[in-house]
Structure 1
C-alpha cells in the first residue's frame, strides 16, 4: 500500500513538472519573439526567465526518474537523494540562466542609450497569453500542494517549509515568481509607453532578476539541507520516540537519529537501553519484532537500525545532550 501511495505521488509530481515544462517552453518562445520585436529589456528578461524555468523542469524530470532506482551494491541506501541533487542544480540554473541575464539587461537598458519602443501591442498580447499559461501550471502545482498538505495535516505554507519533495516546491515557487515577473514586465512596458523613458523597462528587468535570485536562494538552501542529511519531520521523530519508549522491553530511548534518504524515505537509528532481564535470544527476537512493527506503522521508514546501549554510559549521554539538549528526554528512564 505504501508503494502504491508513493507511486501515485510520484506520478502526480511528474504531471506537475510536465505541465510546467510545456507551459514554460511555449511561453519562452513567445516572450523571445516579443522581446526582439519590441526591444523591451523586461520582455527579454522574461524570455530568459522562461528559458531557465524550462531547463529547471528538465532537471526535475531527471531527478524523478533517477531517484526512483532501487538500491544496489554501490548505493545500498538507494538513489533517493538524486532528487535533492538535481533540484539543487535546478536552483543554480534559475540563477545563472535567468537572474544574471535579467539583471544584466536591466543595467544595460538603464545606463545605455535611450531605445525606441516598438510593436507594444505584441508585448501586451504575449504577456496576457503567458499569464494564462503560467496560471494553468501554477494551478496544477497549487492543487498538488494543497492535497499533500491536507494529507499531512499541515497548512500549505507549513508544508512548503517542511516538505522533502523538492519537485512540487520548485514548480510552485517558479510559477509564482513567473506570475509576479509577468506583472513586473507589464508594468515596465506600460510605463515605458506612457512616459517614453526606458528607465522603467530596465527597472522591471532588474526587479525580475532580483526576484529570480530570491527564488534560487530559497530553493538552493532547501536542497542543500536535504543533501547534507536533514532530520525527518519532527512529528515523526516524536512519534517514533514515544512508540519505542512505550515498549515493555525498552527501559529508555538513549538516542534517536533520523535522516532523509529521499522523498518519503527515512533512515532510523535508535539506541535503546533494553530490559536487563532479556537474554541474547530474546533481545534478537525483540529487535526483529520492533523492526517489523515500526515498518508497518510508519511506512516512510526505509532503513531501521536498533542498537542496544546502556543509558548510564557517560560518553553516550554527553554526546546525546550535546546534540539535542535536556528538553528531548532522551536517555532518561521510561516512566
Structure 2
C-alpha cells in the first residue's frame, strides 16, 4: 500500500526530531568538555531543530483536522501558523545564541579544552543528520515526481512547508557541523580561538537564512497563495476543454493547506448550453481536475455571460 503524503511527512518530521534530540545532547556534552563556542552553538542549533520538529509535528496534526461548521474549508492554514512559529524559534533561539556566543568568544579568546571529543561527536552527528537528510531528500524527490517538476522547483513552490523545513534544517545542520569542525580545527592548529568564534557566527548566519526563508514561505501561504503558474495554466486548459465551454473568463486558485487546493472560475458557456449540460460540465471538471491533481479539494464554476 502506498504511503500518503501526510503520513510520509509525519515520518520525516519524527525521524528528524529524534535524531536532533540525540545529537543536541551529545553536542552539549562535547561543548561543555571542550569549551568550544562552535560546539555549543551546534548544540543549541540541534536543540532548536528539535523544538522546531515538535512544532512541525503539531502543524501536521492540527492542519489535518477535518472541516466543520465553523471552518468549512478545514484547518489546513493552521499548519502554516505553527510552521511560522517554528521559523521564529529558529531565528531567536538558534541564530541569536550562535551569533552572540561567537562574538563573546572572539572578544574573550577562551581556550578550548578537549578537542578529541568534539571531533568524535561532530562525526557521529554528521552521520545521524545524514540519515535524516536522506529521508527528506527521498520525500522531496518522490513528491516532485508526483507534481511532474524538479526537486528544486518543488521546494520553491511546495505548500507542504514541513517537508521544506526539514530539508532546509537538515541541510543547514550538515553545513553547520562542517563549519564547527573547521572552526575547532583551525583553533587547535593556530591556538587562536577567533576561528571558533567565527564558526559560531557563521552557524548563526546560516540559521538566520533558513529561518527567514521558512518565515517568508509560511507568511505567503497564510495570506493565500495561488498554485504555481504552470499548474494554474494546466487547470485553465482543462476547464476550457470541457464540452459547451466557450472560454474561461477568470480563474482563481488558493492553497488552503499542505494538501488542499481551492479552484474557482468564471466560465462562459455556449449560448445553447442547457442547465443540465452546465451541471454535467461542472461535474466533469471536478472529476478531471481531481484525477490530475489529487490535492484539489474544491472546484467551483460560475457560469458567466460574455466578457468579464
TM range (shorter): over 0.9
Partners of 2:143 and 2:274 in 1: how far apart? 44
- What corresponds to 2:119 in structure 1? 124
Cα deviation per residue 1:277-297 (whole Å; 9 max; x = unaligned)? Answer: 234455445434444444444
Equivalent residue number for residue 244 of structure 1: 239
Show CA shifts across 1:296-319 (max 9, x none): 44422211211122232xxx3xxx
In 2: Cα distance, 1:287 partner to 1:249 partner: 11
How far, CA to CA, are the matches of 2:293 and 2:116 in structure 1?
57
Tell me whether 1:191 sits opposite 2:191 in the alignment.
no
Q: Is the 8 A contact 1:252 1:311 kept in 2?
A: no
Larger radius of gyration: 1
- Separation of aligned partners in 1, 2:24 and 2:263: 44
The answer as to 2:159 corresponding to 1:164 is yes
Provide the TM-score with structure 1 as the length reference.
Answer: 0.87
For residues 306 and 300 of structure 1, the distance between their equivalents in structure 2, rounded to whole angstroms, comes to 18
Report if the CA contact (8 A) 1:42-1:106 is conserved. yes
Instruction: State the distance in 1 between where 2:247 and 2:106 align.
Output: 66
Paired position in structure 1 for 2:169: 174
- Deviation of residue 83 (structure 1)? 2.0
Task: Pick one of 57, 63, 67 that aligns with 1:67.
Answer: 63
- Cross-structure match for 1:277: 272
Distance in 2 of aligned mates of 1:211 and 1:281: 58
Pairwise CA distance, 1:120? 1.3
Q: Quick one: which of 53, 58, 72 aligns to 1:57?
A: 53
Aligned CA-pair RMSD: 1.7
Structure 1: any 5+ residue segments left out of the alignment? 317-335
1:298–1:160: structure 2 CA closer, same or farther, 3 Å change rule?
Answer: closer
Number of aligned pairs? 308
Q: 1:253 aligns with which of 223, 248, 251?
A: 248
Are the aligned partners of 1:51 and 1:97 in contact in 2 as well (CA < 8 Å)?
no
TM-score (norm 2): 0.95
Q: For residue 230 of structure 1, what is the aligned residue in structure 2? A: 225
Cα distance in 2 for residues equivalent to 1:248 and 1:154: 29
- 1:202 lines up with 2:197 in the alignment: yes
1:301 to 2:272 alignment: no
1:102 has 2:98 as partner: yes
Distance of aligned partners of 1:92 and 1:194 in 2 relative to their CA distance in 1, 3 Å threshold: same
Q: Give secondary structure in 2 for the equivalent of 1:78.
A: coil
Given that residues 105 and 202 in structure 1 are in contact (C-alpha distance below 8 angstroms), is that contact kept between their aligned partners in structure 2?
yes
What secondary structure sits across from 2:232 in the alignment?
helix
